[in-house]
Amino acid sequence: MTGLGQIAAAFAQTLWTTRTGRARADFERWQARTLQRWLARDLPGVDFYRDAPPRLETLPIIDKATVMADFAAFNRGRITAEAGWRAYETTGSHAGVSIGASTGTSGNRTLYAITPAEQHRWLGTILAKALPRFLVQHERVAVILPQNSALYDGANRSRLLRLQFFDLRRGLESLLPTLGAFAPTTIVAPPRVLRHLAEHANELAPRRLFVGAETLDPIDRMAIEARFGLRLGEIYMATEGLFAVSCRHGRLHLAEDANVFEFEPMAGGLVSPLVTGFRRRFQIMARYRMNDLLRLSDRPCPCGSPLQAVDEIVGRLDDVFVFDRADGARVLVTPDVMRNAVLDAARDIADFRIRREDREEIVLLLQPDLPEASARAASAALVQLFAARALAPQVTVRREAMVFEPHRKLRRVECRYRPGARS
The pLDDT tens digits along the chain (423 residues) read 777 888 889 999 999 999 999 999 999 999 999 999 999 999 999 999 999 999 999 999 999 999 999 999 999 999 999 999 999 989 889 999 999 887 655 456 789 999 999 988 988 999 999 988 887 788 899 988 876 666 665 555 666 788 888 888 777 778 888 999 999 999 999 888 899 899 888 889 999 999 987 888 888 898 899 999 999 999 998 777 889 999 989 899 999 999 999 999 987 788 999 999 999 999 999 999 988 899 999 998 999 999 999 998 888 888 889 898 888 888 889 888 898 899 899 988 988 999 999 989 999 999 999 999 999 999 999 999 999 999 999 999 999 888 766 666 778 898 988 776 543
Residue 179, class by beta-carbon neighbours within 10 Å (0-12 exposed, 13-18 middle, 19+ buried)?
buried
Contact 342, 382 (CB under 8 A): yes
Q: How far apart are CA 155 and CA 176, in angstroms?
A: 22
If one counts every other C-beta atom within 10 angstroms of the C-beta of residue 37, the result is 12
Q: Which domains does the chain have, with CATH numbers?
A: 3-317 (3.40.50.12780), 320-415 (3.30.300)
Q: How far apart are CA 277 and CA 292, in angstroms?
A: 16
pTM of the complete model: 0.85
Question: At 349, which amino acid appears?
Answer: I
**Which parts of 185-270 are beta strand (E)?**
186-189, 208-211, 232-238, 241-246, 252-254, 259-265
Q: What pLDDT score does 422 carry? A: 45
- The H or E element containing residue 172 is helix 172-182
Contact 352, 304 (CB under 8 A): no
**Which backbone phi and psi does 382 adopt, to 5 degrees?**
-65, -45
Contact 3, 244 (CB under 8 A): no
- The H or E element containing residue 362 is strand 361-366
CA–CA distances in Å: residue 392 to residues 283, 345, 347, 373, 389: 46, 19, 25, 22, 9
Sign of the Cα torsion 294, 298, 300, 302 reads negative
Q: How far apart are CA 139 and CA 159, in angstroms?
A: 9
Q: What pLDDT score does 13 carry? A: 94
Q: What pLDDT score does 147 carry? A: 65
Q: How far apart are CA 190 and CA 418, in angstroms?
A: 27
Q: What pLDDT score does 356 carry? A: 94
393-398 LR contacts (CB < 8 Å, sep 24+): 393/323, 393/356, 393/360, 393/361, 393/362, 394/360, 394/361, 394/362, 395/362, 395/363, 395/364, 396/361, 396/362, 396/363, 396/364, 397/363, 397/364, 397/366, 398/363, 398/364, 398/365, 398/366
What is the β-pairing status of strands 361-366 and 394-399?
parallel
Q: How far apart are CA 38 and CA 113, in angstroms?
A: 18
Q: How far apart are CA 230 and CA 249, in angstroms?
A: 11
